[in-house]
Chain A
Amino acid sequence: MAAATPSNPASDLLGPADGRLRYRLWVDRVVRWGLPLTFLLVLVPLFDLLYWVSAKALPTFTWATISTNPVGFGGGLWAPITGTFLLITIATAISGGLGILAGMYTAEFAPPPVARLARLAGNLLAGVPAIVVGYFGYFLLVLYTHWGFTTLAGAITLSVFMLPYVYRVCDLSFSSVPRDQREAALAAGATPRQYLLRVAFPIAFPSVLTGVFLAMAIGLGETAPLVLTAGWSNSPSTGLLSTTSYLTGVVYQNYQFPDTLGHLVTLAFQAAFLLVVIVLVLNILVQVIAGRYRRRLQGLFS
């Protein structure tokens, strides 16, 4: 750090008349050392949350917590785990498929006015509150379709919420494929399809993948869209048109129970713990892929 402060030696040369400059340098140094301390304000809540979620969840966390279904005032998390997995798989398939298609098209083919409109819509969609998406799902997929509360309604609602995240990252990934690549492909006589699949897609793919993982992490943690659409089931979902449970729902339904009532609050914390762990793993995956992606791009340019 000392090497990065070239103004320090200068301050030793200042005379008594340079009060103004002395003050300016003093402020600079206070800011230099003081501002990074604000990270404590972020790190303290983060570690406090991680500590308490672990402390409340782990002491009674056994294999049965994962392998059994919720029963009465206790039980385990098997059905919610499978439900979350099912919901996220379907929602990722839908939002991933549509998001990548739309993102690729926006970046590669769409005429500028269309692309502008599409990007605006993507950004606006990302800002729609989860609870509003939930009401959309309730009116359209629960009532209008007469499906009732179903896994499918929950997954589609979730996919609407996840779509813009995949879409925007995908759009960006394809847009950042260097123009040279495209010109080179054209010069070599490639068809647009060949260019897309064999040139652009391999370059953009790792970045697209981070977008998909990001969307999965976001979908995984949502509660409001599912409360209004997915129903609830204490046993693993038996099909797309049956109800399902999910981890965030365990937290939301049980967080208020007094400790005396079975171990529902503990179960809620155990579900919260699993959620945090899965999100952490997804985050690490994103970081790893993003890191490799950066290296690959660097290799491309060097």
Chain B
Amino acid sequence: MGLVAAIAIAVVLLLVGLGGGYALGNYLGSRSSNSSSTSGSTSYTISETGSSLIYPLMQLWGPNFTKLYPNVQVSPQSTGSGTGISSAESGTVDIGGTDAYLLPSTAANYSLINVPVAISSQLVYYNLPGISAHINLNGTVLAMIYSGKITNWNDPMIQAANPSVSLPNLAIVPIHRQDGSGDTFMFTSMCYMSWSGWTYGYGTSVTWLSSSPSASGNAGMVTTLSHTTGGIAYIGISYESEAASSGLTYAALGTQAANLNGTNPANYALPTTANISADASLGLANLAPGSVAVSLILGGVPGATNLQLGKGGTMPAAGTTPYPDTNLEYTLIKTNPSDASKQKWVVAFLEWALAYGNSATYMNQVHFLPLTPAVVGYDMQALQAVTVSA
């Protein structure tokens, strides 16, 4: 165990060195010195559209990049991952933002690359009057709740995982997103990977139980759940403070081990920074260099089909349990842009974001976590493939 951890740490440190050095070298290298000579001569507006989760991050990054390069403005738009992907494919925006990676084969068809820019996570909230504890829920239980197989809060499966909580005899009302959403993609991915009985697939929009009520947007989920006694809902971590002020409590979610052994409390993780990082390093370990396109759900559990998984296996740091509902936030950009001189600035913006924007200063404000240095390094490498004008 200790040996594995030591090797893991060594690998991480090596990658930090490689990635960090690479990042800075590239960012401060020939490209930006070329670009600074043209700085100010032409002004550019970099357009971004897509995921509503990335939107606030872009809002933070944009003005700070403009401070450095006044001739470049960044205009983000909160539309949804689907719009982000399709707009990037058609080349109608410079950056498409999405919560789900684009399959590498599809991306190649459209000359796009996945550039992850942050680590986000999702919380599962419930509205149980009188219960302020973080109850333990695992993917299997959640999948069964959303499939209508578990219908009451005092169900033995939930109670077994929460021996110290007296759960009420109350119907569970599973609430889902009615609009297409990356949050639905994350949540259904977790259900799909956790329970073989899950029949709804995974994606930004799936068919749910017809009795399951719906809400639009994360904000709508918060409002709806706060008015639905016995309700349960999946909500992006950016809305943590809103949900908290609405009196909602989130669950500790089970790791892949909890799907096999739901009663062991050690298999449940709260969405702390350390736990989310643990899941991310699980999913991001042993990646091949190049464009990163992986799911971090359940640390990239092996065995699930169809999903593009991390080559998981690295054990979490001592004292942490990987928080399973974790995800990379992606941007998509063209490798053969129609306007290569503008693309130079798009690349410069992403390189700046990865080198300097990828810090707790920015990430904390939107409840994200910085990327691991390894991913930053791979991103920087992938950006090299983009055609830009000298």
Interface residues of A (CB under 8 A from B): 71-73, 142-143, 146-149, 231-235, 238, 242-243, 253, 256-258, 260-261
Contact = CB atoms under 8 A, between A and B. Distances in A.
A243 B77 contact: yes
Contact of A260 (B45, B79, B241): B241
28 contacts: A142-B92, A143-B90, A146-B90, A148-B87, A148-B91, A149-B47, A149-B92, A231-B47, A231-B75, A232-B49, A232-B75, A232-B78, A233-B47, A235-B73, A235-B75, A238-B45, A242-B47, A243-B47, A256-B217, A256-B219, A257-B242, A258-B219, A258-B223, A258-B239, A258-B246, A260-B242, A261-B219, A261-B239
B77 A231 contact: yes
B220 interface: yes
Contacts of B217: 256
Interface in B49-96: 49, 56, 59-60, 62-63, 73, 75-79, 87, 90-93
Contacts of A257: 219, 242
Contact of A232 (B77, B90, B241, B246): B77
Interface residues of B, number: 31
B242 A234 contact: no
B75 A256 contact: no
B43 interface: yes
Nearest to A230: B77
Contacts of B223: 256, 258
A73 B56 contact: yes
Contact of B93 (A73, A149, A234, A235): A149
A242 B92 contact: no
Contacts of B87: 148-149
B75 A234 contact: yes
A243 B90 CA distance: 16
Given A146-B92, A260-B246, A261-B241, 15 more contacts: A142-B90, A146-B91, A148-B47, A148-B87, A148-B91, A232-B49, A232-B76, A233-B47, A242-B47, A243-B47, A243-B75, A256-B216, A258-B242, A260-B242, A261-B242
B43 A238 contact: yes
Contact of B75 (A143, A146, A233): A233
B222 interface: yes
Interface string B212-252: 00001101101100000000000000010110011000000
Nearest to A264: B219
Nearest to A70: B59
A72 B62 CA distance: 10
Contacts of B73: 235, 238
In the A-B complex, the 4 residue pairs with the closest CB atoms: A148-B92, A232-B77, A256-B219, A233-B75
B59 A71 contact: yes
Nearest to B226: A258
Of listed A72, A146, A147, A242, residue having the most chain B CB within 10 A: A72
A72 B56 contact: yes
Contacts of B246: 258, 260
A262 to B, nearest CB: 10
Given A72-B60, A258-B242, A253 B78 contact: yes
Contacts of B62: 234
B300 to A, nearest CB: 31
Given A231-B49, A232-B77, A72 B59 contact: yes
Interface in B171-225: 216-217, 219-220, 222-223
B49 A234 contact: no
Contacts of B76: 232, 234
Nearest to B216: A256
A170 B298 CA distance: 64
Contacts of A258: 219, 222-223, 239, 242, 245-246
B72 to A, nearest CB: 12
Of listed A238, A243, A258, residue having the most chain B CB within 10 A: A258
A242 B339 CA distance: 14
Nearest to B78: A253
A142 B91 CA distance: 10
Contacts of B63: 71
Nearest to A239: B45
B90 A256 contact: no
B59 A234 contact: yes
A149 B43 CA distance: 19
Contacts of B47: 148-149, 231, 233, 242-243
B366 to A, nearest CB: 9
Contacts of A146: 90-92
A256 B223 CA distance: 8
Interface string B341-368: 0000000000000000000000000000
A238 B90 CA distance: 22
A157 to B, nearest CB: 14
A140 B62 CA distance: 30
A238 B91 CA distance: 19
A71 B246 CA distance: 24
